[in-house]
Amino acid sequence: MKRRNKSSQLFSLLCILLQHISNLVGNPKIVLPVPAFNVINGGSHAGNKLAMQEFMILPVGASSFKEAMKMGDFAPNIQENKEGLELLKTAIEKAGYTGKVVIGMDVAASEFYSSDKKYDLNFKEENNDGSQKISGDALKDLYKSFVSEYPNVSIEDPFDQDDWENYVEMTVECGEKVQIVGDDLLVTNPKRVEKAINEMSCNAVLLKSIEAVKMSKRAGWGLMASHHSGDTEDTFIADLSVGLSTDKSRPELLADQSVLPNTISSNPDHDPTPGVGKSAWSELQSLCTSIEILNSLNLNNHWMKEFFSWQCVSRTQNAHWVFGEVRVFAREFDHVEIMFREHLRNDPYRMEDMDLYSYVLYAKEACAALSYLAHKVVLTDKYRPESCCIIGNYYNLKGQHEKAVIYFRRALKLNKYLSAWTLMGHEYVEMKNTHAAIDAYRRAVDINPCDYRTWYGLGQAYEMMGMPFYALYYFRKSIFFLPNDSRLWIAMAKCYQTEQLYMLEEEYHLIKLHQKLGRNEEAAFYFEKDLERMDAEGLEGPNKFEALIFLATHFKTHKKFAEAEVYCTRLLDYSGHCSFAFAYLSLDFFFVFLLNIYIDKRTKTWKKGQKDREV
């Protein structure tokens, strides 16, 4: 028993550690990485002639982490790069893993980068004549052949750590086909990572610091966790790989290979009494965020497994109900009704989300169907908040608002239920009790400030109270959460039509104020806007007449004769009634005014021509 409790405690602590690491970088779920096995060594780590440091295989087609660990375990001595890749390809085919296992490389090109800015593939030979020195472009073409001829999906450090130009070209030309990992290039230095992101120098980073990991994830890069060639047998690299959801991980150490599967498989068979055992099950349950994850667990047969599975399934919401709620807010009521009917056939005693179904029936005014649903939930469990809301919706549809309020209050006594506050606010609006409606809506907003119905209800209540400024504010809030609902836009438009917001007199006084203060440019701007509005509405009157006179005079003063001519011509054609303040202005005045415009225009043209002749 002590041994089992110790195993459970270790598993619980591991779950907490993985969740903490995952939260550090904002991962929504924990995923085991694809292990990358180093099968051929080169570079400074081996006594052969290979310039490139490591050739790896990645079992991407394995159905589980345990199966992936079984796929890779051989390391022959190879002398030439393509020979090694050819051997790996042949081994994969003969092992029956074609399509399931791919190849990765750690080139460590900085080791064979020479001072003349070339790459010496024969740098390990004592009698090196330099015949195998190639340029960065030639090395890039070599990598392209690796990618095209072999199932190569990852190349780490393909160029020298300061050869940014070739990194950029390689990423642009091959980045969609292969993962280009920066290790020596980036050393997970956030400044170098930022530079690589801006210049598109690679598309993956070798894991060495949390801040660089966050930056790389935001850029859409992949992650690889490094084992540092057996420096330690500490298993934390495995925990870190899972917590950060790295794309590939190198399980070179025996401890790294066994810690995760051994920990997971050794824990179901223990005493689930209160203590560390129960906490282990609870932590594992919190990680099961979907049915797929639950089914993928390889747990031993134990009576506690049945309770664990049942609890996980009950906490995992069916996606159909989520889609139903989305369709309700999109007002696709017919689709939602069909979906709920189908689910009720499969689960006739379900109570969760039935209030959403009643809202659909209420919106469709399906009184008979809503009545049937209300009677059904009463027989099933009438003391559920959902039942009270369904009955309240039924009474609301029948126009019995007082009874509806009673059932919504009952729902709130059973639970501080969001939709009950909102629905009760709707009832108070129907009963013209705006103060009670506002109080109910505000309580609903405190619980869920993202429900557009609550903001819309507040807008309706303030509109009924003759307070369009408040109503406009709340209608805008509702439109922010549901911008495609025409009802909300129509309600906001009605606010603009109220007398309080239709401030034409205030607008005219603002124009006159600018005119008195000598701000003729601002006055002309507002006169033009006011004139456009009056033209659109077909209005006549002294305000329009005064606007035409001011604009004609203003543009003439500023030598804008074309605009002045337009407004002066409109004055000649003006047929509306003028106020007594303008009665003294006869038709001759406009002819004289227009004549002055023509004279000024001709004078300006003559002076310009005279100046051109002098030049």
pLDDT tens, position by position, 588-601: 455 555 556 555 55
Specify the range with the lowest mean pLDDT, choosing from 186-200, 220-234, 450-464.
Answer: 220-234
Q: Does 515 have pLDDT greater than 80? A: no
> pLDDT tens across 447-474, in order?
888 888 889 999 999 999 888 889 889 9
Q: Does 571 have pLDDT greater than 60? A: yes
Q: What is the mean pLDDT of the chain?
A: 73
Q: Does 180 have pLDDT greater than 70? A: yes
| pLDDT at residue number 340 | 79
Residue % of the chain over a pLDDT of 90: 2
**Residues 6+ positions from 34 with CB-CB distance below 8 Å:** 58, 59, 60, 62, 68, 247, 248, 249
Do the Cβ atoms of 151 and 92 come closer than 8 Å?
yes
Cβ atoms within 10 Å, residue 88: 24
**Residues 6+ positions from 578 with CB-CB distance below 8 Å:** 542, 545, 585
Query: pLDDT band at 560, cuts 50/70/90?
Result: confident
> pLDDT tens across 518-541, in order?
788 888 888 888 788 788 877 777
Q: Does 51 have pLDDT greater than 60? A: yes
Model pTM score: 0.38
- Residue environment code for 407-419, b if the CB has 16+ CB neighbours within 10 A, otherwise e: bbebbbeeeebbb
What is the average per-residue pLDDT within 358-362?
A: 83
CATH superfamily for domain 31-223 = Enolase-like C-terminal domain (3.20.20.120)
| pLDDT at residue number 519 | 81
| pLDDT at residue number 45 | 57
| pLDDT at residue number 348 | 81
Q: Does 65 have pLDDT greater than 90? A: no
- Residue environment code for 51-82, b if the CB has 16+ CB neighbours within 10 A, otherwise e: bbbbbbbbbbebeebbebbebbeeeeebeebe
Specify the range with the lowest mean pLDDT, choosing from 72-81, 158-167, 401-410.
Answer: 72-81
What is the average per-residue pLDDT within 578-591?
A: 44
| pLDDT at residue number 505 | 57
| pLDDT at residue number 14 | 62
Q: Distance between alpha carbon 254 and the CA centroid of its chain, in Å?
A: 40
Q: Does 101 have pLDDT greater than 50? A: yes
Q: What is the assigned CATH class of domain 321-448?
A: mainly alpha
> pLDDT tens across 237-277, in order?
565 565 555 555 444 433 333 333 344 445 444 443 333 34
| pLDDT at residue number 4 | 42
Specify the range with the lowest mean pLDDT, choosing from 111-120, 331-340, 421-430.
Answer: 331-340
| pLDDT at residue number 264 | 40
Pick from 11-25, 185-199, 430-444, 578-592 the range whose average pLDDT is largest.
430-444
> pLDDT tens across 207-221, in order?
655 656 666 666 667
Query: pLDDT band at 5, cuts 50/70/90?
Result: very low
Do the Cβ atoms of 168 and 199 come closer than 8 Å?
yes
DSSP of 227-271:
-TTTS---THHHHHHHHTT-SEE---SHHHHHHHHHHHHTSSSS-
> pLDDT tens across 305-320, in order?
777 777 776 665 555 5
Q: In terms of pLDDT, which residue wins out, 34 or 89?
A: 89
